[in-house]
Structures are given as C-alpha cells and as structure tokens.
Chains A and B, each alone.
Chain A
Amino acid sequence: MPASFVEESRRAALEAYEREPVPTWRRSGFWTTTLRKLRLDELEPRHHDPVSALDELPDVVRSAIGSDDLAGLIVQRGASTVLSRLDPEVAAQGVILTSLERAVEEHPELVREWYMRRLSHDEGKFAAATAAFWTGGAFLHVPRGVKIERPLQVVYAIDEPGTAQYAHTLAVVGEHAECSIREYCLAPDIDGQALHSGAFELYCQAGAQVKVAHLQDWGGGEVYDISTKRVEIARDAHCSWVPIHLGGRLTKQTLDIVTAERGSDMRHTGLYFTEGDEHLDLFTTDLHEQGDTTGDTVWKGALTGTSRASYEGLIRIGRGAQNSHTYLQTHSMLLSDKAKADAIPSLIVETDNVSASHGGTVGEIDEAQVYYMMTRGISRRDAVRTLVEGYFEEVVQRLDDESLEALVRERITAKLSAAEDAVEEFSAQR
C-alpha cells in the first residue's frame, strides 16, 4: 500500500486537474503558447517491462549515456521504471537512488519530509496532472557529508507515439554532501504525439555542493513537454544548474532556483537550440529569500527554421534578503529570418542594499566576425558554424562534465549541419 500522504496528495491534485482548464500562456507582444494541437485524450501511460542490462534499453538512451561511468542510473520508459541501479559502494555510503514509487514504500518518512515541499499541485492543469498521475519517478538521497564524484543519472524516455508520461523526480542532498545529478529527457524521432508532464524538485541542504544538469532532447516528433523544475539551496550551500534544451515540438517549462538561506549561492546556466517548427517557452525565477545570497544566471539560445523561443527570466529579491548579489543575462541568436525569439529579463526587488542587474539581447551572427574568419581562408559555412559553436561554448563549459559536454557539442553540430544551407544563405543575405 502506498503511503497515505502520497494518496492524499494525489486526491487533491486530481481535484485540481479536473477543475483546471487546459491553459494558454499569453505574454505581451506576439507571444502565445497554446496547446490547441495537442490531442490530450488520445495519449495514455504506456507500461514496459524492466530490463536487466543496459543494451536492452532503447537506442536513444544507450547512445546518450554511452559508456559513461555512473554512480547510479534509473531509467523510466513511458510510465515504467525499467532499470534502477546503484553502485554497491555508493549504496554502502547510505545513498539512495530508486524509483519514487519504491522510495515511498521503503523510505516513507524520508520521502514525506521532502515530497512536494516546494512544488504544488495547484499551479495549473499539468502540475496537477503530474502530481495526480505520476508513476515510476526517481528519488535520490545523498546523506550528510557523503561525497559522490561520478554522476547520478535519471533518464525519462519516450519511444512510442501516444505516450503520456507523468514524471516526478525528488532529490535531496544532505548537509555538506556533494554530488552531480543528471536528468535526461529523451525520445527518438517518433511519428505522432506524446506528452511529458514533469516535476523536478531538488533540495540542497546546508553546505551541500551540487551540480545538476538537465538535458532535454525529444527528437523530431511531436513531443509536448510541460514541466516545473525547482531547486532550493540552503545555508552556505552551492548549486550549479545547467538545463539544456535541444528539441521538442512544444516545451513550456517553469524553472525556479531559490537561494533560501544566508550564504546560499547558485549558478544557473541554460542553453537551447530550436529548429523546424519547434516552440519553446521558458520562464525562470531567481528567487532570493534571505540575505547574503548570490546568483549568476546566463542563458544562451539559437534558432533555425520557423522555430519560436521565448525566455523570460525574473530576478526576485524578497524582503529580508539584504546584501544579495545576482545578475542575469540572456542572449538569443537568430539563424533564420523566419525564426522568432524574445528575451525578457525582469527584476522585482523588495528590499534595499542589494545588487541585481540583468540584460537580454536577441541578435544575429555578427557579419564582422564572419568577414574576419573568411579573410583567413575559412569558408562562410565553416565560419558560421564555428561562430555558433563558439557562442555556446561558454555555456557548455559550465557543465563541467566531459561526456555531457561532448554530447551537447555533438548535438549542436548535428543541428547546425542539418540547417547548414539555410543558415549559410541567411548569413550571406545580411
């Protein structure tokens, strides 16, 4: 029997789900994110049997994690946890990595303490859906003082059209513990629609040092991703969070990072590359709840085809958060005259004696840079590719994870070469 607190939460969420309409997100200007093409009632959770070896995992998962040396791995395919592994030496240190379903059974007290602490089922239809319907899921707990170097990996994979995947990851990193978390959301180029409705919550307790990377690559199919991800950083803890968006038919994500106690520090570095007719709508909040907290947010994106990308980044410094220092920068690079981007930084400061700055740009490749490279014999095509790769390099290096960096570079290069003729022509017209 699942623990009652989860059942209660699911019941409340189901009520909210039934009450809430399918949302449309509107912003000033041209921006609207609408789900009118999503045929929600044709989608359903798909169950799969567990696998016993890595090579039985879907190709898209195997090729993304390759031969990476992981401390632990949990893979959810559709609605089912199909693989759950943790290095016995790591487990012996008290680390837990298992499906959230099992964690609720096996560690109810621990899960109860943290479950949905910073998330609510009452944040719209999809947050309610995730809270009501999640299956599988992931639970990570790194106990106080434990340091794990190799990545702890969570994968959500969709490989069948018609899939609705409700995913919930809960991660708790104890006081002065250190670890590196990866969450990948992957799909091959499926022929049809699918939904990933996700929730991610991470709590970095006092003095913890945490790296977390999100890699989203839903392929060329019609995968809709509506997710909320929230990170809380406690006293003197540090978290570096790198969300990467490399594909998805429509993505609407809320990404919040909370420096919740004195001395907490965050680094938030995002990257996106949209192509074809993809639609990406991101809203991030850098929330400072107490004083002496610091933040540093950089987002960079590039767009090809007729894709749309909107990034809105809010810095919010609450009452009592004096002496906080933070800044936020966002850049979007248009690689097609039919793509549209906006970059909207904003600031709410409810106290004094803080420093907060923000800036946003939407631009194109600088023709002076292309010319300079061409005077060195480099073709326009190679110059443009190199400049786009170079533009992302600052962000890629912040991953501080060699195999993930290589994967991201490879995917960016592949996307650029897929759009190469159009991008070259676009750059030559300027």
Chain B
Amino acid sequence: MSLEIQNLHVRTEEREILHGVDLTVEKGETHALMGPNGSGKSTLANTIMGSPQYEVTDGKIVLNGEDLTEAAPDERARAGIFMAFQYPATIPGVSVANFLRMAVNAKREEPIKVKEFGQLLKANMDLLRIDRTFTSRYLNEGFSGGEKKRAEILQLAMLKPEIAVLDETDSGLDIDALRIVSDGVNAMRGPELGSLIITHYTRILEYVTPDFVHIMLDGRIVRQGGAELAGELEDKGYDFIREEVSAADAR
C-alpha cells in the first residue's frame, strides 16, 4: 500500500515547476520533504491532491496501484489521500462540525450516525486539545493561524486517510501550537498511515522524527536520507546543499 510519484513534471500557465520528481511513501512510513521557498514543495503537494492550477505534463501519481494522475481532487480524497493546507480556505456559513460531517460522509456509503459522529469528534478534539466551542464556528472564519492548523489536523484525524500530505503545517505556529500539532501527528502515526511532511524548517522534525528525509531544490529531489539528513541541513543550511549539487552537476 503506497503513494508513488513517478517522474512527475508539472507546470503552471507560466512555467515548468517540477522537473521529474520520484518519491514513494509506503503506509506506515513518515517522510519529510524539505526545501527552501520556491523549490516546488507546495506544487508537489497540490499536484498530489489534484489542484486545477497545475498541469501534469509527464509522469504519474499512483495510489495502491491505481493511477490517479487525471483524477479530480474529490476522487483522490475518497481514494485515501489527504492534504493539510498551508493556507486553508475559509468556508463561511458552514460550521466546523457540519463541514466535518459532510467530509466524513463523502467517504461512506451510509451517512454516519449522529451519536457515532459525536463520539468520534469528541475523541479527536480531546486528542488535539481543542475547545468545544470550536466546532460551532464557521470553518476558518476569523481563525488564528494556530487554530487553522489545528482545524486541518482535526480533519486529518477525522478522515483517517491512508496518505497524509502536510503542507507547511508548522509554519506560523508558536511553540505550544507546534507541540499540539506534532502530538496530533504522532498520535496518528502507525501502520495505517503514510505521511509526507513538507517543511522549510527542521523545527517540526524535533517533535516528529521522520523515517526518511528528501531535499528538494528547484523542482527536483536532490538528496535523500534518514532523519540525520535533517540535522545536517540544520547545521549547514540549504546553500551548502545547493553548492554540493552544483558541484556534482559540474563533474
């Protein structure tokens, strides 16, 4: 059971952003994808999710053997992919609870029973230490940065995907919020979930230890390794990697 990204080339109307990305996330594994701003990390996340802003010109996105390259975002979600957004949209007039119920039901044949939904919601809110009044607010309307990220993680917990892509979930969080989000991610970690944590900084990786680390530069994955690679990056910075890569290219 896995998400496979094969030789992915992606462009916007203006230019090509990803120039052949290969990446496999097996269920049960936690991957970190690191890179500086503009390296193509968010493009990869949104292409995995099927954003209409990006066009795949070559390569494939395969989940559990099924080619999803052309699938609409809702089909991908129902197939088991989830993305926590860096900047989630505001949904006016729709409460967190109603939104979650819709999303949970979208994956089910029969709508979830009210009581079962209530129990599931309560359990996950306790896990993420979310206040009860939160669920009656309109989704992301007037939410602080930390609340938005928590709402994303709450959706992750409620929807139980096979593959979760966390797009810069750590950005803009203070240390308490980062800890709560990390605890949430750790609590969901297990043989049933493969995750791809996209981040600029190594901060979140102090709380969530990845099995694999990938470094992206200019639309390509240029280095791969274990958790120690994040430590190396922390010490040496992206410029070091960039120099190393251009030196290798020159040879």
Asked if residues B85 and A380 are in contact (CB atoms below 8 Å), the reply is no
Asked if residues B93 and A375 are in contact (CB atoms below 8 Å), the reply is no
Smallest beta-carbon distance B234→chain A, Å? 31
Question: Known: A380-B72, A380-B74, A390-B138. Is A375-B92 also a contact (CB below 8 A)?
Answer: no
Asked if residues B74 and A390 are in contact (CB atoms below 8 Å), the reply is no
In the docked arrangement, what's the CA distance between A383 and B93, Å?
13
Question: Known: A371-B52, A377-B77, A379-B106. Is A390-B93 also a contact (CB below 8 A)?
Answer: yes
In the docked arrangement, what's the CA distance between A377 and B79, Å?
9
Chain A interface mostly: helix
Question: Known: A391-B93, A392-B93. Is A371-B51 also a contact (CB below 8 A)?
Answer: yes
* Chain A residue at smallest Cβ distance from B85: A372
Asked if residues A367 and B52 are in contact (CB atoms below 8 Å), the reply is yes
* Chain B residue at smallest Cβ distance from A394: B93
In the docked arrangement, what's the CA distance between A372 and B53, Å?
13
Chain A residues within 8 Å of chain B by Cβ, number: 24
Asked if residues B94 and A390 are in contact (CB atoms below 8 Å), the reply is yes
Asked if residues B73 and A375 are in contact (CB atoms below 8 Å), the reply is yes
User: Is A403 among interface residues, defined by CB-CB distance under 8 A?
Assistant: no
Residue interface bits B83-119, CB-to-A below 8 A is 1, else 0? 1010011111110000100110011000000000000
Chain B interface size, under 10 / 10 to 19 / 20 to 34 / 35 or more: 20 to 34
Question: Known: A390-B93, A390-B94. Is A377-B85 also a contact (CB below 8 A)?
Answer: no
> How many contacts between A and B, using CB within 8 angstroms?
77
Asked if residues A374 and B72 are in contact (CB atoms below 8 Å), the reply is yes
Specify which chain B residues have a CB less than 8 angstroms from the CB of A391 in the assembled complex. 92-93
Question: Known: A376-B103, A377-B106, A378-B102. Is A369-B72 also a contact (CB below 8 A)?
Answer: no
In the docked arrangement, what's the CA distance between A371 and B91, Å?
11
Specify which chain B residues have a CB less than 8 angstroms from the CB of A109 in the assembled complex. none
In the docked arrangement, what's the CA distance between A392 and B102, Å?
18
Specify which chain B residues have a CB less than 8 angstroms from the CB of A378 in the assembled complex. 74, 77, 102-103, 106
Asked if residues B94 and A377 are in contact (CB atoms below 8 Å), the reply is no
Specify which chain A residues have a CB less than 8 angstroms from the CB of B155 in the assembled complex. 376
Specify which chain B residues have a CB less than 8 angstroms from the CB of A371 in the assembled complex. 51-52, 73, 89
Question: Known: A372-B85, A374-B72, A376-B106. Is A390-B52 also a contact (CB below 8 A)?
Answer: no
* Chain A residue at smallest Cβ distance from B140: A372
Question: Which of B76, B83, B94, B107 is A386 in contact with, Cβ under 8 Å?
Answer: B94
Specify which chain B residues have a CB less than 8 angstroms from the CB of A393 in the assembled complex. 92-94
Question: Known: A386-B102, A390-B94. Is A374-B74 also a contact (CB below 8 A)?
Answer: yes
Q: Of A368, A376, A389, A394, which is in contact with the most chain B CB atoms at under 10 Å from its CB?
A: A376
Specify which chain B residues have a CB less than 8 angstroms from the CB of A386 in the assembled complex. 91, 94, 102
User: Is A366 among interface residues, defined by CB-CB distance under 8 A?
Assistant: yes
In the docked arrangement, what's the CA distance between A366 and B88, Å?
13
Smallest beta-carbon distance B47→chain A, Å? 12
Specify which chain B residues have a CB less than 8 angstroms from the CB of A367 in the assembled complex. 52
Question: Known: A371-B51, A371-B73. Is A377-B92 also a contact (CB below 8 A)?
Answer: no
In the docked arrangement, what's the CA distance between A201 and B176, Å?
57
Smallest beta-carbon distance B86→chain A, Å? 12
Specify which chain A residues have a CB less than 8 angstroms from the CB of B94 in the assembled complex. 386-387, 389-390, 393
Specify which chain B residues have a CB less than 8 angstroms from the CB of A389 in the assembled complex. 93-94
Q: Of B49, B73, B102, which is in contact with the most chain A CB atoms at under 10 Å from its CB?
A: B73
User: Is A373 among interface residues, defined by CB-CB distance under 8 A?
Assistant: yes
User: Is B159 among interface residues, defined by CB-CB distance under 8 A?
Assistant: yes
In the docked arrangement, what's the CA distance between A390 and B96, Å?
12
In the docked arrangement, what's the CA distance between A169 and B198, Å?
63
Smallest beta-carbon distance B147→chain A, Å? 16
User: Is B78 among interface residues, defined by CB-CB distance under 8 A?
Assistant: yes
Interface residues of B in 52-83 (CB under 8 A from A): 52, 72-74, 76-78, 82-83
Asked if residues A373 and B91 are in contact (CB atoms below 8 Å), the reply is yes
Specify which chain B residues have a CB less than 8 angstroms from the CB of A350 in the assembled complex. none
Residue interface bits A142-173, CB-to-B below 8 A is 1, else 0? 00000000000000000000000000000000
In the docked arrangement, what's the CA distance between A367 and B46, Å?
14
Show 16 residue pairs from A and B whose CB-CB distance is below 8 angstroms, ordered by the A residue.
A366-B89, A368-B89, A369-B91, A371-B52, A371-B89, A374-B74, A375-B50, A376-B99, A377-B74, A378-B74, A382-B102, A386-B102, A387-B94, A390-B91, A391-B93, A394-B93
Extra A-B contacts (18), CB below 8 Å, given A372-B89, A387-B91: A369-B90, A369-B91, A371-B51, A372-B91, A373-B91, A374-B74, A375-B73, A375-B74, A375-B76, A375-B77, A375-B83, A376-B102, A377-B103, A378-B77, A379-B106, A380-B72, A383-B74, A391-B93
Binding site for B on A (CB under 8 A): 366-369, 371-380, 382-383, 386-387, 389-394
3 interchain residue pairs of minimum CB distance = A390-B93, A393-B93, A377-B106
